[in-house]
Amino acid sequence: MQNSEKKTLLSGITATGKLTLANYIGAIKNMVKLQEEYNNYIFIADLHALTLPIDPKQLSKNKKDIFALYIACGIDPKKSVLFFQSDVIQHGLMNWLILTNTTIGELSRMTQFKDKSAKIKTANGMETIPTGILMYPTLMVGDILLYNADIIPVGIDQKQHVELTRNLAIRLNNKFNTTYKIPEPYIPEVGAKIMSLTDPSKKMSKSDTNPKSAIYLLDDPEDAYKKILKAVTDSEGKIYLSDEKPGIKNLLTIYSALNDISLQESAEKFKNSNYGEFKNAVAQCVKEFLIKIQDKYKNALNQIETLSKEGAKKASEVAQINLDMLLKGIGLR
């Protein structure tokens, strides 16, 4: 049951692909840091993974991997309610209730919708944009309101969807007399936007089609080492912090996040190094991090079945209470 003295945290990762180091630094690291302080609901957003076509076998593997990786990264199932979104059936109904309180205009203004739909248009030369990418923000709004969460640890790319949630919580409370909390995004100071290794003007994404652009948490540690050595930087040869040097800044960010130091401290440490020495140091710490995680991941795989059932049961109880509040307000109960 929830500890009523603590605030509530909710966070999820879509099962669209293999988890990246950006997902760890941008989101999971904060979930781990905050799990003592909050009532935590951490889930695998397997329903969100359906927004774009996905191979069933791949989806099934992705979701299990994410569950085990959460544990490997430090999410403790005794301190956090850890569950698969599709095991908690309240998410589907909540989505419909929320969807019917939004407009097509506000959903089509979402940056992620614009970005993702633009890519599809270019790829096919015609409009075949799946409805899921327009509507997935309302599923996310429902995810948050079902647990009446106070804070949402996310990378910067999800900030707009948390803002949509805030607007909807206010709208529903005004219209239907509900008492949903107005959630705050919790964005890391270092690492809110880790960039692609092959194009540091783009964010690192698990759905990027170029596997060299990202470090995956289940990458062979040696391959990951090599990817960092090959990361695109610039030809200046000097290490300092500047927005004009996104490749170097990105590697400094990765180093800082994995060593829990500030960006300035990292820049100071490497100010006299050449790019080769610097990249080796970053590559080494990424490699050591992956070895540590992967060891724990293997053990965690065996616990998924039991832990996910326990998690879903606890999550459903709270989700039903917050769903009932809206059903009642709307006049369906």
- Please state the closest distance from residue 143 (CB atom) to ligand ATP, in A: 12
Check whether 203 is labelled as a binding-site residue: yes
3-state secondary structure of 67: helix
Tell me the window of 22-30, 54-62, 236-244, 318-326 that interacts with ligand ATP (CB under 6 A): 22-30
Check whether 157 is labelled as a binding-site residue: yes
Structure tokens at 132: 């899921």
- Whichever of 17 and 221 has its CB closer to ligand ATP, that residue is 17
> Is residue 199 part of the contact set for ligand ATP (CB under 6 A)?
no
Q: Which of 154, 169, 224, 258 binds ligand ATP (CB under 6 A)?
A: 154
> Is residue 198 part of the contact set for ligand ATP (CB under 6 A)?
no
Measured between alpha carbons, how far is residue 72 from residues 45, 152, 246, 314, 332 in Å?
18, 21, 30, 21, 42
Q: Which of 8, 9, 10, 20 binds ligand ATP (CB under 6 A)?
A: 20
Of 77, 69, 84, residue with least CA distance to 217: 69
- Whichever of 205 and 273 has its CB closer to ligand ATP, that residue is 205
- Please state the closest distance from residue 201 (CB atom) to ligand ATP, in A: 12
> Is residue 90 part of the contact set for ligand ATP (CB under 6 A)?
no
Q: Which of 32, 140, 194, 248 binds ligand ATP (CB under 6 A)?
A: 194
- Please state the closest distance from residue 219 (CB atom) to ligand ATP, in A: 14
> Is residue 77 part of the contact set for ligand ATP (CB under 6 A)?
no
Contact 280, 229 (CB under 8 A): yes
Residues 202-261 that bind ligand ATP (CB under 6 A): 203-207
The DSSP 8-state label assigned to residue 80 in this structure reads E
- How far apart, in whole angstroms, are the C-alpha atoms of residue 18 and residue 103? 33
The DSSP 8-state label assigned to residue 86 in this structure reads G
Contact 215, 24 (CB under 8 A): no
> Is residue 110 part of the contact set for ligand ATP (CB under 6 A)?
no
> Is residue 314 part of the contact set for ligand ATP (CB under 6 A)?
no
Give the number of other CB atoms < 10 A from CB of residue 85: 25
Please say if 206 is a catalytic residue: yes
Measured between alpha carbons, how far is residue 56 from residues 39, 50, 53, 60, 76 in Å?
32, 10, 9, 6, 28
- How far apart, in whole angstroms, are the C-alpha atoms of residue 221 and residue 67? 20
Structure tokens at 194: 């880790």
- Please state the closest distance from residue 200 (CB atom) to ligand ATP, in A: 11
Candidate list 63, 116, 181, 249, residue with the active-site label: 116
Backbone angles phi, psi at 41, to 5 degrees: -120, 110
Check whether 204 is labelled as a binding-site residue: yes
- How far apart, in whole angstroms, are the C-alpha atoms of residue 62 and residue 50? 12
> Is residue 279 part of the contact set for ligand ATP (CB under 6 A)?
no
Q: Where are the alpha helices (DSSP H) in the chain?
A: 21-23, 29-34, 56-73, 90-99, 104-108, 111-124, 131-146, 159-176, 221-229, 246-259, 263-269, 275-301, 304-330
Q: Which of 9, 10, 18, 23 binds ligand ATP (CB under 6 A)?
A: 23
Candidate list 29, 63, 181, 203, residue with the active-site label: 203
Position with the least CB separation from ligand ATP? 26
Binding site for ligand ATP (CB under 6 A): 13-14, 16-17, 20, 22-23, 25-27, 154-155, 157-158, 191-194, 203-207
Instruction: List the binding residues.
Output: 14-16, 143, 155-157, 194, 203-207
Q: Which residues are catalytic?
A: 116, 203, 206
